[in-house]
Amino acid sequence: MRVRIFKLTERNNFAILLDITALVRKAHHSRDSGGESITLEFLLGTQMTDIKKSIHGEWSSRFAFILAATGSAVGLGNIWKFPYIAGENGGGAFVLVYLLCVLLIGIPIMMAETMLGRRSRQNPIDTMITLADEAGADKNWHYLGWMGVIAGFLILSYYSVIAGWASAYTVKAFFGSFSGADATEIKSLFDGFVGSPLQLMFWHSLFMLATMLIVARGVNTGLEKAVRFLMPSLFVLLILLVGYAMTTGDYYDQGIAFLFSPDFSKLTGEGVLIAMGHAFFTLSLGMGAIMIYGSYLPKDVSIAKTVYLIAGTDTVVALLAGIAIFPIVFASGLEPAVGPGLIFQTLPIAFGNMTGGWFFGVLFFVMLVFAALSSSISLIEPAVAWLVEKKDMSRKQACIWSGAVTWLLGLATVFSFNAWSNVKVFDRTLFQLLDYLTANLMLPIGGFCIAVFAGWIMTQQHTTHEMDMPDALSYKVWRFVIRYVSPTAVFLVFLNVIGVL
Ligand code: TRP
């Protein structure tokens, strides 16, 4: 047997361990009576899985991962997007489908995605290469990683523009622009703002810059601290807003009823697809964000328990946002289906008219910007990790490149609200097109593939080992759901929307 001697630098340690593991596996495959290599495979394969670490470091604890993953999940998706798409799709029935999708598709796939990342400890592209190789599967699985990286760019490009709106509204709140204003005034404030490409571009640039600065410093350092204070504060503020909503008089009859009494006649096939897409979007699934965060997850952490906690928090935040917003919508005589401007046309009314509204308004929009930041960094981290691992860039260089690409793409969204608002592709503005393409198509397709990979391609031995469930039954349930329920559900929703069902 030929022995190659490597100089193990810290940067390359991991890649080389993998190379050795793969070599030994090959040797094992090519021999029938490989007693010796079985021992070696045991030594190099199984045990090394346990000592694998990402070159980017690790979360300091389970709690740190929970904070970061919750930070990724909770964002504009919960507070800006959920209310406006629920409003556009008729409320109750849509919300019910969304909750079902979180339970049957989102949670099991979130477990699978975290598991894939932790097993390989690399960026999503190489994760798919390594794990496909480990399972003896086709190389083409790495396209899944690529699709994720592209989806990340596309999502961040419009995410950053909307986060820019939230940043601008922080300043508006600070200068008292909402004080005493009624629904009409707040609406014209919003229309004037999004009608200005320069303003949108300015705030989009600022937000992208902030994202790049944080990511350049490494996601698992400063972020932990920021999210630790962010989540509880956001929670308290939302409860406060729900309190205000209760005083509007339309709380139960219209607000709560709109969100929680399902009227299935209002739900279209397209609505079901949007609800499912949103389950992926809000949990940051299907593009490798949770995978890359999983790759920084220490070995001894229970994936299942952690995922329940994250998904639960995310869902509660979205529902609270809806409960706070819809009573104001009806009390102010607004339409629930006004679209992406919904929270910017409702919450300022609350802040402009409630006691302490100036203070809470500023605080709310600051929180929203931070919540968006802790999400945006997870959208770009897979690409950055890949550039650092594979293209030998420094984190700083990687951030500049990926940030520049995203910024440029973001201009499409900036102009889709003003100069190019008449440009339609498939009957959609560029912003709507990007949103549809990513949230409703790329993420569900990505999630479907992750489920198939974890349920059908990876060996049961490996998934059992990596999931490390508290008991055998939980593992069996997860495996059943990830093999049959989640992929079938995604598939049926697609069939439904193209009219086959
Ligand atoms: N989940 C975030 C939100 O709700 C957005 C987000 C962050 C995301 N990372 C993602 C969406 C990855 C899809 C994929 O605001």
In the predicted structure, residue 29 carries a pLDDT above the cut 60: no
Is residue 219 pLDDT above 90, yes or no? Answer: no
Q: For residues 466 and 274, what is the distance between their CA atoms, to the nearest angstrom?
A: 32
pLDDT of 10 reads: 38
Give me ligand 1 centre to Cα 374, in Å.
9
Q: Which amino acid residue places its CA nearest to atom 14 of ligand 1?
A: 284
The yes-or-no verdict on residue 19 having pLDDT over 50 is no
pLDDT value at residue 68: 87
pLDDT at 277: 97
Residue 456: is its pLDDT beyond 50? yes
* Most informative mutation of 283, 367, 379 for ligand 1 (most atoms within 8 A of CB): 379
Distance 345 CA to ligand 1 centre (A): 23
Nearest in space to 216 (alpha carbons), one of 10, 410, 384, 11: 384
Cβ burial of 95 (10 Å; 0-12, 13-18, 19+) is: buried
Q: Is residue 449's pLDDT more than 60?
A: yes
Who lines ligand 1 at CB under 6 A?
Answer: 72-73, 75-78, 155, 281-282, 284, 287, 289, 375, 378-379, 443
CA of 50 to the centre of ligand 1 (A): 29
- State the Cα angle at 124 between 121 and 128, rounded to 5°: 90
pLDDT digits (tens, 9 = 90+) for 346-374: 999 989 988 888 988 998 899 899 899 98
Residues 6+ apart with CB under 8 A from 307: 107, 110, 111, 114
Residue with CA at minimum distance from ligand 1 atom 12: 284
Q: Which tops the pLDDT comparison, 237 or 172?
A: 172
Residue 237: which of 342, 375, 327, 347 has the closest Cα? 347
The predicted structure's pLDDT at residue 46? 38
Q: Write the pLDDT tens digit of every residue in 116-129.
A: 999 999 999 999 99
Q: Average pLDDT in the 326-333 region? A: 88
Question: Is 48 a residue whose pLDDT tops 50?
Answer: no
Q: Six-digit token pair at 150? A: 């592209």
pLDDT tens for each residue of 7-18 = 333 333 444 444
Distance 71 CA to ligand 1 centre (A): 9
HSE of 400, CA atoms in CB hemisphere, 13 A: 4
22 Cα to the center of ligand 1, angstroms: 34
Q: Is the pLDDT of residue 407 over 90?
A: yes
Cβ proximity of 412 and 431 under 8 Å = yes
Predicted local distance difference test score (pLDDT) of residue 408: 98
Report, as an integer, the average pLDDT of 235-260.
Answer: 87
Tell me: pLDDT of 43 over 70: no
289 Cα nearest atom in ligand 1: 12
- Judged against a pLDDT cut of 80, whether residue 249 lies above it is answered with no
For a pocket test of ligand 1, which of 72, 434, 440, 441 has the largest count of ligand atoms closer than 8 A to its C-beta? 72
What pLDDT score was predicted for residue 18? 46
CA proximity to 340, closest of 138, 76, 154, 123: 76
Which atom of ligand 1 is least distant from the CA of 438? 13
pLDDT of residue 482: 97
Q: Which residue has the least CA distance to atom 6 on ligand 1?
A: 284
Residue 427 banded pLDDT, cuts 50, 70, 90: very high
CATH of domain 2-30+32-497: 1.20.1740
CA atoms within 13 A on the CB side of 286: 29
| Mean of pLDDT over the chain | 87
In this predicted structure, what is the pLDDT of residue 218?
Answer: 76
Cβ neighbours, 10 Å, residue 356:
10
* pLDDT greater than 50 at residue 2: no
Give residue 414 CA to ligand 1 midpoint distance, Å: 19
pLDDT of 60? 79
pLDDT of residue 35: 32
Distance 375 CA to ligand 1 centre (A): 6
Ligand 1: atom nearest CA of 439 is 13
Asked if residue 453 has pLDDT above 50, the reply is: yes
How close is the Cα of 213 to the center of ligand 1, in Å? 19
Distance 78 CA to ligand 1 centre (A): 9
Tokens of 429: 């503005």
Q: pLDDT at residue 417 above 90? A: yes
Least confident of 54-68, 70-84, 416-430: 54-68
Q: Token match 């990596």: residue?
A: 466
Instruction: Name the pLDDT band for 237 (thresholds 50, 70, 90).
Output: confident
Q: What is the pTM of this model?
A: 0.88
Per-residue pLDDT of 273-288, as tens digits, reads 999 999 999 999 999 9
- Residue 226 or residue 167, greater confidence: 167
What's the rounded Cα separation, in Å, for the pair 65 and 292? 11
**What are the extents of the domains in the chain?**
2-30+32-497
